[in-house]
Structure 1
Amino acid sequence: MAERQGLAARQPGAVRSALAVLEAVAHLGAGVSAQRISTELGLARATTYRLLNLLVEDEYLVRTPDLSGFALGARVAQLAGVTAAPARLPGAARALLAEARRSVRGGVHVVLFIDGRVVVLDADPDFPLSDADRLVREPARYALGRLLLAAEGQVPDGAVAADLRRFGATRQCGEIVPTTGCLALPIRDDRGLTVGALGFSGARHRVEDPTEVIGALEPTARALAPLVV
């Protein structure tokens, strides 16, 4: 109680700091450590830990299973109107993903499709998503969002349908940044429904001719399915 009274006494700065912590966890991804949050926000370590403990207590954040980091909690999901994603990929899935990232030069990301939204499970730390918030707001602009729309029977245009027929994947080639593009391969459940995606982001020419990338990532997408669905 004393902690809460002390926090309330410093309003509105404490509220802004707490919101900044939530935004940092959302941006940096599930499993981010308190030290990383402290460094990212320029907050004192003691202040960061105090805010994290309060946010965990109120279920805005959760600790990851190994207690080394934090992820968005159920109350954030309720506010956003979405189902909370698992806090962390299981070890076997992380090993598959690490191998895929070693073999493919570019960003490799894992997402689930939950309640009509793209929910990021694991974004490549070396090649982060360009704008995760915009991906949620404007899914049709990105390969991951196009695959989500296709899974819901809302194929944005004929080019997307053609990509799905030809490659079994969706693409975006230089439409946002002229030199880069992105690709999304489906992750399917045991009924064959697309419930997520393995995404790639990298040089535009590798997305325009995606044969190499798809060949490298398709086995990973299949192997990930029973581990993340």
Structure 2
Amino acid sequence: MTSGMDPSPLPGRQPRALRNTLAIIEEVVAAGPGVTAKEISAALKLPPATTYRLLNLLVGEEYLVRLPDLRGFALGRRAARLAAPTNTRPPAAVRAVVGHLRGNVRWGVHLASFTAGRLVLMDPDRDHPPSDEVVLARYLYASALGKLLLADQPDWRAMVRDLRRFTEHTIVGRTELDTELREVAASGVARQCGELRTDRGCLAVPIRDQDTGALVAGLAVSGPPDRIAEPNTDMIALLRKHADRLAPLLA
């Protein structure tokens, strides 16, 4: 009696093609949204023609999607079925703390999770929409929340594939960025002033596990870049107060 599965081995080049296809999905997960075909080809040491062919196949099957600017790729609808579902909506107690902060400031307030070393917006401010989440996750060095995550790494360079300039204020020099991230790590405050958009700045503080000290999330306010650039000790104190209230709720 035979089972419904064909026990015969895959013929010809199919095993290699299957391994390469799975490797590409893994690389998109590791590199984050926006990784390009050229970067995937180099990382996996695949011929460009093979890479493009498999990428087109994965896009056609909806395991990957092309980003709107056509610069790179991200996971598609069907890829989400490969992992157990997760609930990114924060609990009511967390939303209450974030909502309280929003009631005390005139700017946008955003809460981001750093689970598994990825920036995911848990509670973005709908009244003051943040930058596109794909951009924030891909170009960590250009946002205050991203700088918090990079500053916490043993080597931030491992998480930055390329330094793209968005505005004249974007920091794209590795030495300059290294200096800034050291300051973020020392002060516990990150800011960007017009680095992603010329009309917006952002100030962020970390949220850490109270027992281990591990970075679990970031709390940020966004507003006019000239106001973010000013000394704002009261705003920082307010951010830290709410981050301390969130810590036991998110650990």
TM-score by length of 1: 0.60
2:237 pairs, out of 209, 215, 222, with 215
Match of 1:203 in 2: 224
Which has the larger share of helix? 1
Q: Where does 1:97-176 land on structure 2 (aligned, <5 Å)?
A: 97-155=98-156, 156-166=177-187, 168-176=188-196
Q: How does 1:56-95 map to 2 (within 5 A)?
A: 76=80, 78=82, 86-95=87-96
State how many pairs are aligned: 153
Q: Residues 6-30 of structure 1: CA distance to partner in whole angstroms, max 9, x if unpaired?
A: xxxxxxxxxxxxxxxxxxxxxxxxx
Runs of 4+ in 1 over 4 A off after TM superposition: none
Q: Distance in 2 between matches of 1:77 and 1:172?
A: 36
> Would the alpha carbon gap of residues 130 and 115 (structure 1) be closer, same or farther in structure 2, given more than 3 Å must change?
same
RMSD (Å) for aligned C-alpha atoms: 2.4
How far apart in 1 are the matches of 2:182 and 2:203? 14
Does 185-194 or 157-166 show the bigger shift?
157-166
- Residue 198 of structure 1: how far off its partner (Å): 0.6
Distance apart, 1:115 and its partner CA = 2.1
Q: Would the aligned equivalents of 1:74 and 1:84 in 2 still touch at CA under 8 Å?
A: no
Q: Which runs of 5+ in 1 are unaligned?
A: 1-72
Distance 1:119 1:215 in 2: 24
- Tell me the residue number matched to 2:247: 225
Amino acid paired to 1:213: M
- SS of corresponding position for 2:110: strand
Partners of 1:85 and 1:121 within 8 A in 2: no
Q: Is the 2:204–2:219 contact (alpha carbons within 8 Å) kept by the matching residues of 1?
A: yes
Aligned to 1:180: 200
Per-residue CA deviations over 1:104-132 (Å, capped at 9, x if unaligned) read 11111111112221011110111111221
Equivalent residues in 2 for 1:13-92 (5 A)?
76=80, 78=82, 86-92=87-93
From the superposition, tell whether residues 193 and 142 of structure 1 become closer, same or farther in structure 2 (CA, over 3 Å): same
| Alpha-carbon distance, 1:77 to partner | 7.5
Identical residues among aligned pairs (%): 39
The structure-2 alpha-carbon separation of the partners of 1:124 and 1:214, relative to structure 1 and needing over 3 Å to count, comes to same
